Chains A and B, each alone.
Chain A
């Protein structure tokens, strides 16, 4: 293999993930410190209330389940392989994953066309929104393509992607796992890095600020101006 290719692979799969993670952490933290006001999901439901449902709901329920799948496969690869040992269970898992992947894809296409089709929504669409949609489209598109064309992803993810990811986070990158994989997988990985690196500069930061003590706090919130330490008044 020629050395330029080796060099490129090393950068794409051995260095880029670290770059992406560094930008992700520094970027989101600094944005939160300096520009907390800009942390918002920037909802556009107020401007358009009908199509909104058909984009946001499939997109989010889809992506959350798919992401959950990735996390589980990453954390418990052996359990997953054991589960897949039985063909029926493998089919169920694969079909579920595909359904949620397609849901995400449809949701994305729907939100993107909505952004372009409604003039009110266009006025609140920033260049960052479009770049983000494009990146997500590539990400989800390649994911669904993999699910269809390279079956039993849940098994090969556990067998080769999970070790690769572990090698990344244990600071001992082993890119040999990746090199053996088809192009679509490589695209999926590279685009994931780009998305993570771009994350702090998009509305995706809304994912980081989902609540909080909401689920167990008391319904009413009271804030005092005077010295909280004096403890007078209570809440």
Chain B
């Protein structure tokens, strides 16, 4: 057992209101520089929809992630041989057209335009060339199902759905969508890291954050093709790739990452998971239907003295182990088993988990009032408005069982709360539901509390990083007193 710690995340999709506050918080801090304008380290997609970059989930096109090949796993298009041969032109790399051309407006024209009979307008100008452009797409172009025939109907997760199921998604008055906020998953088996010819990408041992060493990146751009989630971005101005850094300067100082901190729906949870690094390869190799269970089995019980001892032996600080014991992520992933990794079939072992969304409550119009379909308040899950197959393609690696389990448990919690607070279902009914959902009353209460009443401190249990101790072992801060300090001292200038 080789115990490592990972700062992991849960996004509770039932709570996301699609406000994009998270994206803006991130953009304002990290990606408002030249060359990064088009990047959205955090973005929020409408599902069904084609996402950002367009159809990123279509691995026939982008060929990201790993694939299983008789007995072992290979990078789909970015293995060593192909990287070397294709280094001059990367055949599966997305280009700016797959994202969008960033633009601003010519506001000066509002002030400087010659007097005339028309109101002056601020025309869009490209942030790349400075020329006028016709804006053809942008991030969230399909927000809230805008342009569904172009976007929603081309969602790669619709694969395998019957005509009926597809129709069900878009039937008038039953139309349904949900939000899918995304950041880098800080994977355990990151394809981006494995593909980099310069070894510029690395996973931090202490907290598992995946970073790109800006001084070592040489713009071979393999990571952009390799990441199946398209969460490494190419800075076209500096000629370096960049990605979500999980706000490590904030996390190291005990603050939640900006997107977490600002989340309006309070859908985000962050905490430590201890895992067994020796078994990553073995698990990444499992057949698809066993991946979710295997992935879960990598996560170790921080309350188990054997695990704690092994962690200590690996230099994991007691305070971090303590933090792992309080981790909200551990509860969602391991204890309650209602949080699932996105697209586990890419085999990167993502460490960001999603609680799959419940479909809206079904209702009927009765003359002038809208009434719930009362005896089947939260409808049967297999008749949910969002077809199970669709959710399974996203969060179950194509298999429905784990998704059903997570939804059924959430539904049972709702029944229990309904029985306790509204009283239009009986306690007996609620208990039967809990029983079916493999959930005790205590567990249901805990889920309810962490979902609905959670405080800031309960959502974000940030481990102390002890960077102050770590840095002293490598560099003596006193040596640098009254000098310029150490680290990246000059601005990111583009090469000649």
Q: Does A188 contact B (CB under 8 A)?
A: no
| B236 pairs with A37, CB closer than 8 A | no
- 8 Å CB contacts to A: which residues of B57-107? 80, 84, 88-91, 93, 95-97
| A46 pairs with B221, CB closer than 8 A | yes
Instruction: With CB as the reference atom, state the residue of chain A lying closest to B35.
Output: A124
- Complex-state Cα separation, A205 to B217, whole angstroms: 13
Which residues on B sit within 8 Å (CB–CB) of A46?
93, 95-96, 221, 224, 234, 236
- Complex-state Cα separation, A36 to B128, whole angstroms: 25
| B129 pairs with A120, CB closer than 8 A | yes
Q: Does A122 contact B (CB under 8 A)?
A: yes
Q: Does B249 contact A (CB under 8 A)?
A: no
| A122 pairs with B129, CB closer than 8 A | yes
| A233 pairs with B199, CB closer than 8 A | no
Q: Does B138 contact A (CB under 8 A)?
A: no
- Complex-state Cα separation, A101 to B204, whole angstroms: 45
Q: Does A2 contact B (CB under 8 A)?
A: no
| A41 pairs with B220, CB closer than 8 A | yes
- 8 Å CB contacts to A: which residues of B193-242? 193-194, 196-199, 201-206, 214-221, 224, 234, 236-240
Instruction: With CB as the reference atom, state the residue of chain B lying closest to A217.
Output: B199
The smallest C-beta distance from A40 to any residue of chain B, in angstroms, reads 4
Residue from B4, B91, B219, B240 having most chain A Cβ neighbours under 10 A: B219
Instruction: With CB as the reference atom, state the residue of chain A lying closest to B84.
Output: A215
Partner of B198, one of A47, A129, A209: A209
Q: Does A3 contact B (CB under 8 A)?
A: no
Give the number of residues in B that approach A within 8 Å (Cβ atoms). Answer: 63
| B95 pairs with A40, CB closer than 8 A | no
Which residues on B sit within 8 Å (CB–CB) of A205?
495
Q: Does B469 contact A (CB under 8 A)?
A: yes
- Complex-state Cα separation, A178 to B84, whole angstroms: 38
| A47 pairs with B469, CB closer than 8 A | no
- 8 Å CB contacts to B: which residues of A110-165? 119-120, 122-124, 126, 128-129
| A212 pairs with B473, CB closer than 8 A | no
Partner of B193, one of A36, A221, A235: A221
- 8 Å CB contacts to A: which residues of B1-31? 2, 4
| A124 pairs with B236, CB closer than 8 A | yes
The smallest C-beta distance from B182 to any residue of chain A, in angstroms, reads 20
| B215 pairs with A37, CB closer than 8 A | yes
Given contacts A38-B494, A120-B129, contact A43 B219 (CB under 8 A): yes
The smallest C-beta distance from A47 to any residue of chain B, in angstroms, reads 5
A31-62 interface bits toward B, Cβ cutoff 8 Å, 1 = contact, 0 = none: 00001111111111111110011001101110
- Complex-state Cα separation, A235 to B199, whole angstroms: 14
Q: Does A232 contact B (CB under 8 A)?
A: yes
| A203 pairs with B495, CB closer than 8 A | yes
Q: Does B130 contact A (CB under 8 A)?
A: yes
Which residues on A sit within 8 Å (CB–CB) of B4?
233
- 8 Å CB contacts to B: which residues of A170-215? 201-203, 205-206, 209-215
Which residues on B sit within 8 Å (CB–CB) of A202?
496
Which residues on B sit within 8 Å (CB–CB) of A88?
none
| A43 pairs with B234, CB closer than 8 A | yes
- 8 Å CB contacts to A: which residues of B440-496? 467, 469-471, 473-474, 488, 490, 492-496
| B218 pairs with A41, CB closer than 8 A | yes
- Complex-state Cα separation, A38 to B240, whole angstroms: 9
| A225 pairs with B202, CB closer than 8 A | no
Pairs A–B under 8 Å by Cβ, sample size 26: A35-B490, A39-B218, A40-B217, A40-B238, A42-B494, A46-B234, A46-B236, A52-B89, A53-B91, A57-B89, A119-B131, A126-B494, A205-B495, A206-B219, A212-B198, A214-B197, A217-B199, A220-B189, A220-B194, A221-B193, A221-B202, A224-B205, A225-B205, A225-B467, A227-B474, A233-B314
Query: A residues within 8 Å of B by Cβ?
Result: 35-49, 52-53, 56-57, 59-61, 119-120, 122-124, 126, 128-129, 201-203, 205-206, 209-215, 217, 219-228, 230, 232-235
Known: A37-B495, A41-B220; 17 extra A-B contacts, CB below 8 A, are A37-B490, A43-B239, A45-B93, A46-B93, A46-B95, A47-B95, A48-B95, A49-B95, A122-B129, A203-B495, A205-B495, A206-B219, A212-B197, A212-B199, A221-B196, A222-B204, A223-B205
